[in-house]
Amino acid sequence: MGRLPKLGHNVLFVDPPINMGRLFFRHLFRGKWSLGRIITKKTKTDEGVIVYSPLNTHPLSQKYSIKHAKKIDEVAREIFQKDKSRKTILWIYHVEIKGLENYLKNIKHDFLVYDCVDNYEGFPKYDTPEKKKWIVEQERLLASRANIVFSTTPGLAEKLRKLNPKTYFTPNVGDYERFFDIKNKGFEIPEDLKDIPHPIIGFTGAVDEYKFDKELYKKIAEDYPSYSFVLIGPMALKDRSTSKKELGFENLPNVYLLGTKDYNELPKYLSQFDAMVIPYQLNNYTIGGCFPVKFLDYLASGLPTVVTDLPTYAPFEDVSYVSKNPNEFSQNIRIALEENNPPKINQRHEVSKVHTWDGKVKNMLKLISENIE
């Protein structure tokens, strides 16, 4: 959304409603909420995006959705009133929001976009027939009413096309400018990497219950005791913080958990890595709708990348190491390090160069323009 103001569009980005509980007070403690933001619920990014953050003062979020929707509509009219000749596009990414119908009814718009990036019904939290029915109906409501649907994997596109023929496959992309040529940008070695020996095999992102394959990760760390395996990201199993012991890594001195880092900090870490891995499970969620954004960031960095055999990687088999089983995954780490050379690095750069956010935004706007009246 940060790219749209540069193209002349007015943008109001709405955060999911935040409960006045631990998360809010944690944000408050970290200085993310100024007095002005508490009063107006609004901030403005450096790119020119207005961010509105609704607050729930009690847990009845379904009832609160009407109030939020009307306030969002009011804020939108304040921002967009300068040029009434423009179309208002309601772009919904958060299909899980409570009271979805109230938002669709009360936020005035000329065109509705559903931007689908996950196979939501495959999430572990929808583990009962009632819960699964709820999310399926949420998505059916939004997809069927949308003027256009975007999806990040072929599997999602195939599923959603049954609900809306105006469904388009718009794959995830990477931040090419941020990660390109990081080996030659002169980054200082981060303090928490200085004592970690090479080769360093990296992973960034959540170590979670439903995607991250901890058994596969344990295997590769055991297979290569002289390699260092570094994990950067939140460590959580069953929606709570976890430890190296709970992950089963307590007897693996070559596994390093560095915790969560700001996205802006990742290039300096990747600049010190020798290869990357994405050891994801193969399950209903990942096979049905998973395309990790980090994959193309890794390619942009030029680092050899080993992944499990998800359908989303099929177009990238020439520039990554797609592994059909745990043994092949392990072997591919060694092969990736041995084969790493300038021609292969350049090949990864070239592929990532055509899968950028600027290109994706341009394509999405083109599709909207073709379908808007």
Q: Give the CATH number, domain containing residue 307.
A: 3.40.50.2000
Say if residue 199 is preceded by a cis peptide, omega within 30 of 0. yes
The reply to whether 198 and 163 lie within a common domain is no
* Phi, psi for residue 209 in degrees, rounded to 5: -75, -35
Nearest to 293 by CA among 223, 205, 166: 205
Cα–Cα dist 359/362, whole Å: 5
Per-residue pLDDT at 238: 56
The reply to whether 309 and 214 lie within a common domain is yes
The reply to whether 278 and 160 lie within a common domain is no
Provide the domain limits for residue 220: 176-353
Per-residue pLDDT at 340: 96
Per-residue pLDDT at 342: 95
Nearest to 315 by CA among 295, 298, 301, 285: 295
The reply to whether 96 and 56 lie within a common domain is yes
The reply to whether 55 and 181 lie within a common domain is no
CB-CB contact of 29 with 92 (8 Å): no
Kindly give the interhelix angle for 342-353 and 293-301, rounded to the nearest 10 degrees.
Answer: 140
Per-residue pLDDT at 78: 85
The reply to whether 190 and 240 lie within a common domain is yes
The reply to whether 81 and 159 lie within a common domain is yes
The reply to whether 17 and 133 lie within a common domain is yes
Task: Report the number of distinct structural domains present in the chain.
Answer: 2
CB-CB contact of 24 with 41 (8 Å): no
Cα–Cα dist 274/339, whole Å: 12
Mean pLDDT by 10 residues, the chain (373 residues): 83 82 64 60 80 74 81 88 81 93 94 95 88 96 97 92 96 93 93 96 92 95 98 75 83 95 95 98 87 94 97 93 97 98 96 92 95 85
The reply to whether 183 and 121 lie within a common domain is no
The reply to whether 242 and 320 lie within a common domain is yes
Alpha helices in the chain (DSSP H): 22-29, 35-40, 61-80, 100-106, 129-145, 154-161, 176-179, 214-223, 266-270, 284-289, 293-301, 326-339, 342-353, 357-371
Helix (H, G, I), strand (E, B) or coil at 15: coil
Per-residue pLDDT at 244: 85
DSSP secondary structure letter of residue 58: S
The reply to whether 347 and 366 lie within a common domain is no
Per-residue pLDDT at 234: 87
The reply to whether 130 and 195 lie within a common domain is no
Per-residue pLDDT at 110: 93
Per-residue pLDDT at 125: 86
